[in-house]
Amino acid sequence: MEQKIEFICEWRTGKYSISELCKRFVISRPTAYKNISRFEEDGYEGLRELSRKPRGIHPNATNEKVVNRILKLKENHKLWGAKKIWKLLYSDFPGDAMLTVLIVHNILKKHGLVKPQKRLRRVKPITTGLSVCCNGIVNSKRAHKIKTELKLCAKMFRILNSLIQTFNLLHIPLY
C-alpha cells in the first residue's frame, strides 16, 4: 500500500514518465496503469488490496435443500453418522444431486456435527534404566558389566572354536 501511494505521488508530480516510474518501483506497466485508474476512480482508498475471495457460489456446491435436509436429519438423530444419513438422502434425492458419503460427512464436519474418532495408538513400553534378571531386579551398571562379560566370553569362544577347526584341518590331536 505504501509503495502504491509513493508511486502515485511521484506520478502526480509529472517529473517522470510511466516507464521510468515502473523501472524505479520494479512493477510492470499494466500494473502501473491499473493503480493509476484505481486512484482516479476511488482516490487513495482504491489502492487498497482487493479481496481475492470468489464472488459467487461454486458451481459444484451442494444444493441448499440437500444441506438443510442433512442438518435436520442429524439434529433429529444425533447418533447417526454420514453413511446412515446418506442412505436416507439417496432415496429422497435420487437424481437431484450426486451425493456421496464423503460429501455428507464434509457437510456435517463443516457445521461442527462430527467428532473425530479417537485413534488407537500403540503404547510404548516404559524403560526405567533397570534390567530384570532371574533373581529379580539388577542395577543397570551390573547389567552392563554382565553384558560386557558375555560379549568377551562369546569372543573367546569364537577364537577357541577357530583354533579347534585349525587343529582338525592339520590332523593334530588335541589331547
User: Per residue in 117-130, pLDDT tens?
Assistant: 777 777 776 655 55
More confident residue, 84 or 62: 84
Least confident of 25-39, 40-54, 137-151: 137-151
Mean pLDDT of the chain: 80
Cα dihedral 6/10/11/16 (nearest 10)? -140
Alpha-carbon gap, residue 173 to 175, rounded angstroms = 6
Residue 52 dihedral angles phi and psi, to the nearest 5° = -100, 5
Count CB-CB contacts under 10 A for residue 67: 17
Task: Give Cα 75 to chain centroid, integer Å.
Answer: 31
Q: Does 134 score more than 60 pLDDT?
A: no
pLDDT, residue 79, reads 87
Q: Does 175 score more than 70 pLDDT?
A: no
pLDDT band at 142 (very low <50, low <70, confident <90, very high): low
Asked if 62 and 103 touch (Cβ cutoff 8 Å), the reply is yes
pLDDT above 70 as % of the chain: 82
Tens-place pLDDT, residues 68-110: 989 999 999 888 888 898 888 877 766 655 788 899 999 999 9
Alpha-carbon gap, residue 9 to 120, rounded angstroms = 63
This prediction has a pTM of 0.41
Return the residue matching grid coordinates 577357530: 162
User: How many CA atoms lie within 13 Å of 164's alpha carbon, on the beta-carbon side?
Assistant: 7
Q: Does 145 score more than 90 pLDDT?
A: no
